[in-house]
Amino acid sequence: MNEAHAPKAPLLEISELRVSYEAAKGRILAVDNVSIALPEGATLGIVGESGCGKSSLARALLGLVPRDSGEILLRGKNFQPGRAEGLDVQMVFQSPHASLDPAMNIGAILAEAVRARVRVGRKELAGTCAALLEKVGLYAEDALRYPHQFSGGQQQRIAIARALAAKPSLLVADEAVSALDVSVQAQILNLLRRLRREEGLAMLFISHDLNVVRHISDRIAVMYLGRIVEEGPADEIMERPLHQYTKALISASPLPNPVAQRARRRILLRGEPPSPANPPPGCHFAWRSPLSCPAEIAALPGLYAEARPGHYVEIHPGTVDDEHLLAMWKRNREKSLLWAKRSSFDGTIPKQQE
Ligand SMILES: Nc1ncnc2c1ncn2[C@@H]1O[C@H](COP(=O)(O)OP(=O)(O)OP(=O)(O)O)[C@@H](O)[C@H]1O
Ligand SMILES: [Mg+2]
């Protein structure tokens, strides 16, 4: 193929990533065969309850925990977080307080981040730091102050400025607004939205809070026990979810309108979330599903497939109630094709075998 016509590689492509930990109860598979792709400038929200593996996915991407297997490509090339090009991916953590060195003033914190990327003289450095502070809604004078002299929201702005100092293409925000009050959360989300627009930043936005994720994401991926179980355009996931787990998450997230909130039917799951050290066989979710699903069926794997254009879901009698999708699951089951590959909207998913 002529190179000019070759399809452009996505900014980030994670394929079949697995991350596990040694724990007292045995080995925990925290990230189980996760594949995602993110175009330049796009935001993918990752949502799921505590312990489903969101942070492990982010940490493996940044090289902060080793991966068992899987491939991570940035613009089509193997991504190596420790190298200079690793600066292209920056992370913002939940607790800015813990991630900012209390002994350094803000100017020194930002200067260190700028110098990791380029050699600059003192005068130019001061100008760059002032511009970074202004970009996140703070003032040049703030460079002389120390982290403890700022509120939680301001500290998160500083953490974002530090990430921007590296001129990244991708920002990984792991519960970046979870520790903040609701009004401050909204300010930081607005800031991130503005930066995305102005800097063309792509974002992996991780949160357990669907209400937060929906307001910033182009697409949403829902994780359950280490696996992505549904992924699609944000509006589609919120308004036409297919997976019972996504429906349960939506039904549990509060609505601003009290009348609508009272009218809403809550979808309750059976039992407690299973331990990742001892996950149930087959479809992890079917065992807790509100859909009736006998154990011998729950023990069969699901089929991760494109159910609607660009909308992927784990199809299984315990996860979806759409007859056409279930017929697809049954056909694939008969051909033993279930779980052949879990992929996402990057176009690499094999077409459904009819
Ligand atoms: N360093 C570690 N050693 C052992 N187990 C770990 C370690 N880090 C995470 N885990 C386990 O891996 C699983 C996934 O954890 P992870 O922190 O990725 O979840 P999470 O989705 O980010 O949760 P939260 O919403 O609470 O932040 C959990 O069962 C957790 O207990
Ligand atoms: Mg986490």
Domains and CATH numbers, the chain: 17-217 (3.40.50.300), 240-334 (no CATH)
Quote the pLDDT of residue 336: 64
Strand arrangement, sheet containing 227-233: 89-92, 170-174, 202-207, 43-47, 219-224, 227-233, 311-315, 303-308
Tell me: pLDDT of 351 over 50. no
Q: How confident is the model at residue 164 (pLDDT cuts 50, 70, 90)?
A: very high
Tell me: pLDDT of 350 over 50. no
Name the DSSP letter for residue 10: P
Quote the pLDDT of residue 32: 92
Q: How confident is the model at residue 7 (pLDDT cuts 50, 70, 90)?
A: low
* Residue 55 Cβ contacting ligand 1 at under 6 Å: yes
* Residue 52 Cβ contacting ligand 1 at under 6 Å: yes
Closest ligand to the CA of 30: 1
- Ligand 2 geometric centre to CA of 244 (Å): 22
Quote the pLDDT of residue 263: 80
Quote the percentage of the chain above a pLDDT of 90.
Answer: 68
Instruction: Kindly report, residue by residue over 29-69, the tens digit of the pLDDT.
Output: 999 999 999 999 999 999 999 999 999 999 999 999 999 99
- Ligand 1 geometric centre to CA of 207 (Å): 13
Quote the pLDDT of residue 5: 57
CA distance 27 to 246: 27
Tell me: pLDDT of 314 over 90. yes
Q: Is 229 exposed, middle or buried (0-12, 13-18, 19+ CB in 10 A)?
A: buried
- Mean pLDDT (whole number) for 134-155: 94
287: tokens are 């065992």
Closest ligand to the CA of 65: 1
296: tokens are 């011998």
- Mean pLDDT (whole number) for 162-178: 93
Q: How confident is the model at residue 121 (pLDDT cuts 50, 70, 90)?
A: confident
Provide the residue type at 24 as one letter: A
- Mean pLDDT (whole number) for 153-175: 94
CA distance 227 to 158: 33
Average pLDDT, the chain: 88
Single pTM value for the model? 0.90
CA distance 241 to 214: 13
308: tokens are 């609607």
Quote the pLDDT of residue 179: 85
Q: What share of the chain is helix, strand, coil (3-state, %, to 5)?
A: 35, 20, 40
- Ligand 2 geometric centre to CA of 58 (Å): 9
CB 314 within 8 A of CB 245: no
195: helix, coil or strand? helix
Atom of ligand 1 nearest to the CA of 275: 29
The number of beta carbons lying within 10 Å of the beta carbon of residue 214 is: 18
- Atom 7 in ligand 1: which residue has the minimum CA distance? 21
Instruction: Kindly report, residue by residue over 322-334, the tens digit of the pLDDT.
Output: 999 999 999 888 7
